[in-house]
Amino acid sequence: MSRTYRVTGINLKAAPFGERDRLLTILTREQGLLRAVAGGARQHQSRMAGRSTLFVVNDLHIVRGRSLDRITQVETITTLGKLSQNLARLTAAQYLAELTLFQAIAAQPQEELFVLLLEHLQRLESCALPQVLPSLVQGAYHLLAIAGVAPQVFSCCVRRVVIAPDALRVGFSAAHGGMILDVPTLPPSPLLTAEDIAALQELPQSDPPQLGRSPRCWLRIEKLLRTYAEYHLDKSLYSATLIDSCFHV
């Protein structure tokens, strides 16, 4: 096996390593999730400094090491610099990155996951500020879908009947897999409004969510998906702790 390899990757985590270096966690098309040392990246004049920051997409040449691989050459393909210039955008991007890290696999191609994450990060960077929260919520749903655990949003996951946007007595249960329609034998769940149901049913589409829904609605949907993701992935979304302060309404 060759000691060197080439990949295209998005920087998702960065941590100090030694006195001058950074240890990067990178999602790549070709090799899935990997960790590699960016030598000299913490030095101000280093060519590696800007290329090793979060949400930069690079073409990387990497040499295998005994314990950690090391980046030897890097060419930047695109930077998503606007994500770090606004707290709401940055929090949303870190939220999607954390969901991605929960499901990414090492040493296996991750083309579909790579393309999906990059698409939603680019949307977060380019959308108007009022659209950041709905874009985050849709991105989270799509990441759950690619992991095979997205909630049911078009029919009752207990009774298997279609739920119309104006249906009454509709709840949402992480344990049962999504929306539930008036099932008296189950523990009670918070009832969804017609706006909530319509917003949830927008999430699977490829186009961005519609304008006009209230910020309070999107905050409710985010909390439902957050609870759902933590239940099914059995992990806590630490980046979500800033959501309430970033999108306070």
Q: Give per-residue pLDDT as tens, 26-66.
A: 999 999 999 999 999 999 889 999 999 999 999 999 999 99
Tens digits of per-residue pLDDT, 85-105? 999 999 999 999 999 999 999
Delimit the domains of the chain by residue range.
4-79, 85-246
Same fold for the domain at 4-79 and the one at 85-246?
A: no
Q: Per-residue pLDDT for 141 more than 70?
A: yes
Q: What is the pLDDT of residue 210?
A: 82
Q: What is the pLDDT of residue 188?
A: 67
* In the chain, % of residues over pLDDT 70: 97
Place of tokens 């910020």: 215
- Helix (H) or strand (E) segment spanning residue 194: helix 194-202
Q: Per-residue pLDDT for 245 more than 90?
A: no
CATH superfamily of 4-79: Nucleic acid-binding proteins (2.40.50.140)
Q: Is 18 helix (H, G, I), strand (E, B) or coil?
A: coil
Buried b (16+ CB within 10 A) or exposed e, 196-222: bbbbbebbeeeeebeeebeeebbbbbb
Query: Residue 47 and residue 41: Cα distance in Å, rounded?
Result: 7
> What's domain 85-246's architecture?
Up-down Bundle (1.20)
State the average pLDDT over residues 185-201: 87
Residue 43 phi/psi, 5-degree rounding, is -85, 135
pLDDT band at 182 (very low <50, low <70, confident <90, very high): confident
